[in-house]
Amino acid sequence: MKRTLGGRSVKAIGLGCMNLSHAYGPPLPPTQGARVLDRALELGYDHFDTSRLYGGGRNEDLVGRVLKGRRDRVFLASKTGIHVADGRRWIDCSPAAIRAGLDQSLTALGVDHIDLYYLHRPDFTVPIEDSVGALADQVRAGKIGAIGLSEMNAQTLRRAHAVYPVAAMQTEYSPWTRNVEIAVLDTARELGVALVAFSPLGRGALCGTLRDPASLVAGDMRRDIPRFQPDHWPRNLVLIDRLAALAGEAGVSAAQLCLGWVLSRGDHVHAIPGTTRLDHVAENLARADWRPDADLVARVDALFDPEAISGGRYPPVLQAQVETEDFPG
């Protein structure tokens, strides 16, 4: 089943490439990362999502090498705005930074055109109108095909869309992270904007295979996320195990249930699960056309009522860099 993204028809499930180079412990050796991407292409994935941030550019380098000679097979998305250097992380979505970041991404990817280019986070020091205006200039220059935003709220989406049509809003969305249901999901539908769900499997938690986050390797960002920590994890694990039971009743894996649930939220919704494992690349796409029935959707909704989730989705420093509406408490 295909859906529209940036004016193109692509499969509703794409591949989030971050895990191969960033955030969840040591990056895969490039040869192993290339095998994951090659397998995704063999299986028919046609939407790859990367960012200048991931691995300090290594992820774009990897994606570019794998796509060499096969660029036309993939709808290619990347992002700019988050910068890391000398142990410091900051946001810069000024027009000058956007232009410089885009040129770096084009060079790393080995392409002259990126299909969808996102502002990775809101820059609270630069009006969104200025940032979107700079992106619109790059569309007119032929360097990008469409404009995206990430982790921004419904009001910002409306402001941005009034300057130039926004093709996609990317944000975390899964049964245990439902913030977009406050406003962004419906606003995107109203405006004809795709909602691209990253971490649709709850950063791997909802698959049911992670039993003790203390086993995660040093450098895995999940060790710093509140809902993975000892004060919260046991309560969340109860919900995760109940989700696995629901998936078993439906004859799908927990990951497939999560993906089906996310995609059931609207025809404008896409999902980009990431993985480092070849079997998961196949599993995530194997039931791409399956959707849970209304009763099962309601049971998942009830199980993961936002008030039932223990702990925040980001540590305070990272939470301060997102704008998506949040539930009280």
Positions annotated as catalytic residues are 54
> How many CB atoms lie under 10 A from the CB of residue 16?
26
269 phi and psi, to 5 degrees? -95, 135
Q: How far apart are CA 259 and CA 270, in angstroms?
A: 9
Q: Read off the amino acid at residue 314.
A: Y
- The beta strand positions in the chain, using DSSP E, are 2-5, 8-11, 15-16, 47-49, 75-80, 82-85, 88-91, 116-119, 147-150, 166-172, 194-198, 269-272
Q: List, as one string, the DSSP characters of 200-252.
A: TTTTTGGGS----GGGSPTTBGGGGSGGGSTTTHHHHHHHHHHHHHHHHHHTS
Q: How far apart are CA 291 and CA 296, in angstroms?
A: 9
